[in-house]
Structure 1
Amino acid sequence: MKWIGILLFCTSSLSLAQRSDFRHIDFTKADSIAYEHQNESLENLPILTHNLTAHLATDVEKFRAIYTWVGISIENDYSSYLTTKKKRKKLSDKPTALREWNNSFTPKVFENLVKHKKTACTGYAYLIRELAALAGIKSKIVDGYGRTATLLLDGNSIPNHSWNTVLLNGKWYLCDATWSAGKIILDADGPRFEQDYFDGYFLASPELFIKNHYPLDIKSSLLDQPPTFEAFLKGPVVYKAAFRANIIPKAPQEMQLTIVKNEDISFRFSSEEAIEIADLSLVLNKGGTSRNVLPKIIEDGKEYVLTHNFSTPISYDAHVKLGDDFIASYVVRVKRK
C-alpha cells in the first residue's frame, strides 16, 4: 500500500475546545426557546437576549439559544455579501484600512439587519457578538477565508468570510452562524437564500474547522500548530456533513493527487463517534459520469482508512461519502508511468 500525503504536522493539542466538551448538556430546551421567539424583533436586543436566556442555567445553553435563534431567524443577504466582497478586494493589501472599514461598516450592516432581518456574514458575526455580550458572554468576530466546493481559493484571493469565537467555561470555541443558517442558491432567477438550519458549525472542532475556515489572525484558529495558508489552500474540499459527524480528514493532505496506474491511495479520517463501515463509500467521477467503487476499509481505533487501487490512467474526482453525504473530495490524476 502506498500512502499519498503523509501527515506533515500536528494540528492541535489534546485539549481542543469543541462541542464534545458539553456532551452532558441537553440543548433541547435552548433550541425550543429559540424557536418560540423566532419571529421576535431585533429592535430591542436586551429584551430579545433576556427572552432567549433568562430561563437557562448555563452559559453554553444561553449561547446555544442565541446561536440557534440567529440561525433560524436571519436571512443571508447576497447583495450585502457582494458589497463586502468588493470592499475587501479593494483593501486586500491594506489590512489596517480593512479593519477600520469593517469597524465602520459593521454598524451600517447592523442597521439593515434590524430593519429587515437580512445580512451577510459580517452581520451574522456582529449579531452573535452583541447578543452574547448582553448575556454576559464574551465573543469575538473573526475575519478570514471560507473555502467550499463552489468557492475555491488561491494565493491571490481576498478575505471573504467572518465567523466567531466564544469564551465558555474559560475556553475559546469556534462557530459559524452564517453557514449554519442555510445557503445561497444561484439560479436563472438570480440569487436566493434557502433557510436550512444546521448546527454542525456550533462549537466545531478546531482541527476540522481549519479545513474550510482560515483566519487572518492565525491565533483565532485555536490550534497550537495551525497549517500554513498554502497548506490550507491545497487541502481537500470538506463538506458540511463532515461537521455533522465530526469526521476529520487526515490524509491525503492535498486535494490534487498524482499517481502511476495500479497504485493505491488510502484516504484516512478520524471520528469521535463510531462509524458503521457499511456507510462509508468512495465515488469516482470522470467526464460527468459517476460510479461507486468498493474500497478496502480498515477501522483503526478512532480512525478509518479507505484504500482503492487506481488502475486506469485518467483523471478522477474522488469523493468520500458517509451514507448519502459527501465528506471530502479529491482530484486524482493517474498517469501511465
Structure 2
Amino acid sequence: MTPKKIVFLLLINVIFLYSSFAQKYNAVDNIVLKYPKSFSTTEKLAERIEKDFTSDYDKARAIYSWIALNVRYDYAAFLNPPKTQGFSYRSEAEKQRKIQALNDQMVEKAFKSKKAVCEGFTVLYQHLASLVGIKCEIVRGDSKTRLVDIGRKNTSSNHAWNMVLIDKKWRLVDVTWGQGYYDSSKGRMANDFSSVYFDTDPDYFFAKHFPDSESYLGDKLSKEDFLNGPLIYNKTIEKDYKIKSPDSGIIEVRNGDKITFEIKNISKSDQFYYLNKRNQPVKITNGRERKGGLEFQITFDNTIGEYITFFVDTNSIAAFKIVSK
C-alpha cells in the first residue's frame, strides 16, 4: 500500500472516530466531561451544575452524565449482595426517618466509592435532583436484557430507575444502563456512556422495563407485551429502529415457512444481516423499502437456531425467539 493511501485511510479512521465521539456526547455532556471526577460533597456538585446550567432539562441531563461517567456498576456486589438491613419502628414517621437514613448511607457510599448497583444509582440521582430543585421518583421493577428473557412466564423485581418532572412532564431515566453494560465475553462490566436512557421514549423504555406497579402515569401497561415482545438494544432506541412486524417476539414456524419482518429507518443500502446458529452472518438481500423502513422475509430452515438476532453494521438491534412447530 502506498504512503498516500495509508495516510488517507488513517484520516478516514480519525474522522470516523471523531464523528462517533461527537455523536456520543451533547453540549451538556461536554461541559460535564470537564468536571472533577470527585467532589467533596453532593452539595458542591449540585452547586456546580446550578452554576453551569439554567434549564431543569439541562440540569437533569448533567446529573445523568456525571453519574454515568464517574460511577461504575459494582458487579461484585451484584453477585454477592449484602444482607438486607432490618429495623423496627413505632410509628410511620419513625419508619420514614429510618428509611431516609438508609438511603442517605447509600447515597454517600455511591458518591464516595464511585461504585453502586442500580439502587445506589437511583438514590444518588434522586438526591442530586432534589438539590437542584427537580422532583424525582424511584421506580422498581423488572428488566429485559437477555435472549432468554423473551417469552419468560413471570416478572420479578430486579431493577430500579428514575422518573423526573421537567417542564410539567415526567421523563424516564435509567442512569445505571447509561454508564455501561456487562461484557459476557470478558466476564466484566464495560464502561460505555450512552445517552439513550435519559428521557427515553416510553414505548422503547417499557420494552425493556416493567414497573412493579404495572402502570405508568395511571395507565396500565401490558405484562404480556413486555414478556413476549422482541429484545431491543441501545442502537434500536438511538436510531429509532421501531419493529413494525411481527407483533410478537416469539415466532412459531414450520420448516420452510417464510417470516415477514418490517423495521423502521433501515434501508437496502445498510449493512443489514442476521446470525445463523453457527454465528455466521447472513446478509438480508430480499428487502423492500416501504414507508420509511425495510420489509423483508426470512425462510425458516435448520440453519436458524432458537433465536434470531438482526444487526446493522456491528450493532445488534432486535432479537426474536423461534419456536418450531
TM-score range, shorter chain: 0.7 to 0.9
Give me the CA root mean square deviation.
3.1
- Alignment-derived partner of residue 95 in structure 1: none
Of the three residues 117, 122, 137, the one matched with 2:119 is: 122
Of the three residues 300, 311, 317, the one matched with 1:310 is: 300
Question: How far, CA to CA, are the matches of 2:279 and 2:130 in structure 1?
Answer: 51
1:1-337 paired onto structure 2 within 5 Å = 28-41=26-39, 43-82=40-79, 105-149=102-146, 152=149, 154-156=152-154, 158-185=156-183, 192-220=188-216, 224=219, 226-227=221-222, 229-270=223-264, 274-279=265-270, 281-286=272-277, 288-312=278-302, 315-334=305-324
Once the two structures are TM-superposed, the CA of residue 158 in structure 1 deviates from its matched residue by 2.8
- Report the residue type matching 2:132 in the other structure: A
The superposition leaves residues 154-201 of structure 1 with CA deviations (integer Å, 9 ceiling, x where unpaired) of 34553111111111111111111001101234678xx64321111111
Moved more, 136-145 or 48-57: 48-57
Give the TM-score of the pair, scaled to structure 1: 0.75
Question: How far, CA to CA, are the matches of 1:320 and 1:155 in structure 2?
Answer: 24
Question: How far, CA to CA, are the matches of 2:258 and 2:60 in structure 1?
Answer: 45
Secondary structure of the equivalent of 1:200? coil
Q: Quick one: structure 1 residues 173 and 300, their matched pair in 2 at CA, closer, same or farther if it must change by over 3 Å?
A: farther
Once the two structures are TM-superposed, the CA of residue 295 in structure 1 deviates from its matched residue by 4.6
Once the two structures are TM-superposed, the CA of residue 331 in structure 1 deviates from its matched residue by 2.6
- Alignment-derived partner of residue 3 in structure 1: none
The superposition leaves residues 237-291 of structure 1 with CA deviations (integer Å, 9 ceiling, x where unpaired) of 2122212212222332333322123322122333xxx4443225231422x3423
Give the TM-score of the pair, scaled to structure 2: 0.78
- Report the residue type matching 2:300 in the other structure: F
For the 8 Å contact 1:261–1:313, the answer to whether it is kept is no
For the 8 Å contact 1:142–1:162, the answer to whether it is kept is yes
Q: Quick one: structure 1 residues 327 and 28, their matched pair in 2 at CA, closer, same or farther if it must change by over 3 Å?
A: closer
Gaps of at least 5 residues in structure 1 are: 1-26, 88-98
The superposition leaves residues 278-335 of structure 1 with CA deviations (integer Å, 9 ceiling, x where unpaired) of 225231422x342314253233334432322335586453112222211011132455
For the 8 Å contact 2:147–2:307, the answer to whether it is kept is no
For the 8 Å contact 2:233–2:318, the answer to whether it is kept is yes
- Report the residue type matching 1:196 in the other structure: D
Question: How far, CA to CA, are the matches of 1:102 and 1:249 in structure 2?
Answer: 42
- Report the residue type matching 1:116 in the other structure: S
For the 8 Å contact 2:71–2:111, the answer to whether it is kept is no
Larger Rg: 2
Q: Quick one: structure 1 residues 192 and 144, their matched pair in 2 at CA, closer, same or farther if it must change by over 3 Å?
A: same
Question: How far, CA to CA, are the matches of 1:334 and 1:132 in structure 2?
Answer: 49
Gaps of at least 5 residues in structure 2 are: 1-24, 85-94
Secondary structure of the equivalent of 1:47? helix
Once the two structures are TM-superposed, the CA of residue 36 in structure 1 deviates from its matched residue by 1.3
Aligned residues: 290
For the 8 Å contact 1:282–1:294, the answer to whether it is kept is yes
Question: How far, CA to CA, are the matches of 1:251 and 1:161 in structure 2?
Answer: 28
Once the two structures are TM-superposed, the CA of residue 233 in structure 1 deviates from its matched residue by 1.5
For the 8 Å contact 1:297–1:306, the answer to whether it is kept is yes
For the 8 Å contact 1:71–1:197, the answer to whether it is kept is yes
Question: How far, CA to CA, are the matches of 2:99 and 2:267 in structure 1?
Answer: 45
